[in-house]
Amino acid sequence: HAYPLRFILVGILMDMIGIWIINVLFVFNA
């Protein structure tokens, strides 16, 4: 399957946001 480029970009963006949120939570929990 060839997924539209925008879906791939959205997936990468969501991954980056998820990692950022996890980092923020770790900082506040530390």
Q: What is the DSSP string of 1-30?
A: ----HHHHHHHHHHHHHHHHHHHHHHHHH-
For 8-21, the pLDDT digits (tens) are 999 999 999 999 99
The pLDDT, as a whole number, for residue 1 is: 60
For the chain, percent of residues with pLDDT exceeding 90: 70
State the average pLDDT for the chain.
Answer: 90
* pLDDT category of residue 27 using cuts at 50, 70 and 90: very high
Separation in Å, CA 20 to CA 2, 4, 5, 7, 10: 28, 25, 23, 20, 15
The C-alpha angle with vertex 19 and arms to 18 and 22, in degrees rounded to 5, equals 85
pTM above 0.85, yes or no: no
